[in-house]
Amino acid sequence: MQDFQQYIGGAFEDGCASFDSLDPATGKSWARMPAASAQDVNRAVRAAEDAFYGSEWASMTASLRGKLLLRLADLVAENAPRLAELETRDTGKIIRETSAQIAYVAEYYRYYAGLADKIEGAHLPIDKPDMEVWLRREPIGVVAAVVPWNSQLFLSAVKIGPALAAGCTVVLKASEEGPAPMLEFARIFDQAGFPAGVLNVITGGPEAGAALTAHEKVAHVAFTGGPETARHIVRNSAENLASTSLELGGKSPFIVFEDADIESAVNAQVSGIFAATGQSCVAGSRLVVANSIKDQFLARLKEKAEAVVIGAPDDMATEVGPLCTKAQRDHALALIEASQAAGARLVTGGKALDREGFYFPPTILDCSDAPDASCLSQEFFGPVLSVVSFDSEEEALRIANDTKFGLASGVFTQSLTRAHRMIRGIRAGIVWVNTYRAVSPIAPFGGHGLSGHGREGGLQAALDYTKVKAVWLRTSDDPIPDPFVMR
């Protein structure tokens, strides 16, 4: 058993309580994690507040903040193998994915390091004589960042990076389902030389989350997770009137037209739904395919799905590992059973594997004759693809938008004009054309509807961690006239 500590005010400490973390590959405990109490949360927020108003961080130049972020980026890159190992062990994400993703996470910190001294105000051409008016962008304050277990180093980087670039301080709550890599990240952050309290890392269950998001000193809540938890957070934020950015789930359409490059689209679909064992908010979980190529496409997709290598997450040959929790596996089984009862046809997969751990195979459900099947509307967060077909572009667009979510989408076609029509018509925050799951620190990431609001990544994310102050300067040396003297 390994022991991990939380990070508050620049110090590592045990929580008031602890809990065991399970290895999804075996279903057995492997580490003890600190469970933050409401008192721990309060101390973490107070430490962040002290750092925010403290002379060292508050008076630090934006350029120096950028240099510290650049140092952090270098340390993340240097420690990527250790971080990848811990994320794989604690969440079941395969090592080939965690290794590549964490190496790229460093680029997010580098991007925001460079952006730190590019956050500018503005001069206003005011309509009053003898007045100079300008706008200052100032950090919003203490940020509560709440991240899930999946892709947590990436999902924390798109919050911590812009928040610190803007001059904010952060209390990050890691998910109780696999928090080891974030607690290890705190050790790396500590080496970068930031003032104490600029970042605080805790973990724990709903009590810790509620205490953090409702805390009176929190100015902004940045959350990634499910819609139901987001509703609680929005209600909690009413206590402190904090602003929120919510990056939630999805039921993303993957649209393939008859003129698409079939092999390229199949490969992208396999990656879009089976990579990360389907545990991705942008998973292309609804295949919307032209009727004229449906049989050909499904045959090739089935062949690829059944050839996927399922194995231990720490094996570089593994392509699909276990789900993170038993609850996810049970949820997938229940949804598949309900969808079959509604008329969906099982193409492949659909049954839990008879082996130790929370393994579940790549699964395809043909719902062309089951438009009301629950698998078309509910998020699995697992390697399960639901298939529907269409005959016209208008029908494809209607099916794509027939969801309460609006995070991501994919369009595969060789027609430039059709691609532009689909880009305009799809109601989603991201549209990938002839590709899928591409990300960059330069591009914003986020959705609409039940997929949340706000954006992460890009310049706008940094601006969202600022508030605007209007400054009025009277330039006349003449005394201000008495307003009550008649003239």
Please report, for the domain that includes residue 112, its CATH number.
3.40.605.10
Look at residue 54 and tell me if it is in a domain.
yes
Look at residue 120 and tell me if it is in a domain.
yes
Does the pTM surpass 0.75? The reply is yes
Query: Are residues 243 and 102 part of one domain?
Result: yes
Q: Which residues contact 321 (CB under 8 A, 6 or more apart)?
A: 24, 25, 88, 92, 93, 94, 277, 310, 311, 312, 313, 359
Query: Are residues 128 and 179 part of one domain?
Result: yes
Q: Following CA atoms 63, 8, 216, 246 in sequence, which dihedral angle do they give, to the nearest 10 degrees?
A: 70
Query: Are residues 312 and 456 part of one domain?
Result: no
Query: Are residues 455 and 398 part of one domain?
Result: no
Query: Are residues 467 and 394 part of one domain?
Result: no
- Residues annotated as catalytic are 247, 281
Look at residue 434 and tell me if it is in a domain.
no
| CA distance readout (Å), 408 to 307, 313, 391 | 26, 27, 22
Look at residue 404 and tell me if it is in a domain.
yes
Cα angle 174, 176, 181; round to 5: 50
Look at residue 418 and tell me if it is in a domain.
yes
Query: Are residues 335 and 229 part of one domain?
Result: no
Query: In 10 A of CB 129, how many CB atoms?
Result: 8
Look at residue 56 and tell me if it is in a domain.
yes
Look at residue 484 and tell me if it is in a domain.
no
Q: What is the pLDDT of residue 483?
A: 85
pLDDT < 70 stretches in the chain: 486-487
Q: What is the pLDDT of residue 487?
A: 58
| CA distance readout (Å), 399 to 253, 286, 421, 451 | 8, 10, 15, 17
Query: Are residues 354 and 268 part of one domain?
Result: yes
Look at residue 485 and tell me if it is in a domain.
no
Query: Are residues 220 and 101 part of one domain?
Result: yes
Q: Domain range spanning residue 353? A: 253-427
Query: Are residues 317 and 374 part of one domain?
Result: yes
Counting the structural domains of the chain, the total is 2
Query: Are residues 147 and 13 part of one domain?
Result: yes
Query: What CATH number is attached to the domain comprising 307?
Result: 3.40.309.10
Query: Are residues 218 and 193 part of one domain?
Result: yes
Which residue, 362, 417, 383, is CA-closest to 285?
383
pLDDT tens-digit readout, 56-77: 999 999 999 999 999 999 999 9
Query: Are residues 463 and 413 part of one domain?
Result: no
CA distance 280 to 261: 25
